[in-house]
Amino acid sequence: MSFSNGNRFNGKQLNVYYIDPLAPFFNRIIERRKLDLPKITFGFIEYLSAFVPNRASLIIVQNALDHSKSPLKGILECIESLEIEGVLYLRHFRNEAETEKYIGFHQYNISIENNDIIIWNKETKTNINYFLRDFAEIKTSTCGNEVIAVITKKQELTNGLIDCKKDIANLSYEYMGIIQKLNRVSFTFSYQWNYFKFRIIQLFMQQFSWKIRQNIKNIIKRISFTTKPRNKK
């Protein structure tokens, strides 16, 4: 979690909310290490408007949208949460799913084509500029391997683009699935074992420099990709 954006501008205090689905874990780290950092609020980008207390003037999504379950839904929720002329700032590494070989959360790519922001994977491709043409103004740019989009809200979203009843149903089913999974003995054992392995690896890796850790990480990725069989559709 990055706090690099700060909470003051031109000497004025800003009302900043940090929102992340892993908020309880980040907050635990902050408490354990007694860090002088603001607490993080729990929330999903796909349902952001339900977690934002007031209309925001600026929403920053950095290296997170391509990890979400539905990037397009996340963008719509951000637009819904903004005031008119509010800005959604997106900054992501180009085509992370391709880079990460579609492993884990990396299921979507973000790129720029003809100055339009594109979200795509092997099954879908969405031109965000075209999709939001009636509601927002979008400017795109790049910085090295990063893709940047500045989306300024011009109008409220059309009714029906965000279906609250469907959202409630989806969340309910996801919650039920999580509860069922957590109640399995096999899952509990697997989780504890994997956590133990993670802690051992983490302690081992901390003995090396950042550059060496990155090299080891890249080697592990390549090995995982070459040995892990693809699911047949």
The top-scoring range by mean pLDDT among 5-14, 82-91, 173-182 is: 82-91
Query: What average pLDDT is seen over the chain?
Result: 86
Outline where 33-163 has alpha helix (H): 71-81, 96-99, 128-131
Convert the pLDDT of each residue in 146-191 to its tens digit: 999 999 999 999 877 777 777 778 777 777 777 787 778 888 888 8
Say whether pLDDT at 16 is over 60.
yes
- Neighbouring CB atoms inside 10 A of 96's CB total 21
Give residue 4's pLDDT band: very low, low, confident or very high (50, 70, 90): low
Distance between CA atoms of 148 and 196, rounded to whole angstroms? 38
Mean pLDDT of 131-138: 94
Kindly list the structural domains of the chain, giving each domain's residue range(s) and its CATH number in brackets, ordered by start.
8-159 (3.40.50.150), 166-227 (no CATH)
Give me the pLDDT at residue 166, please.
78
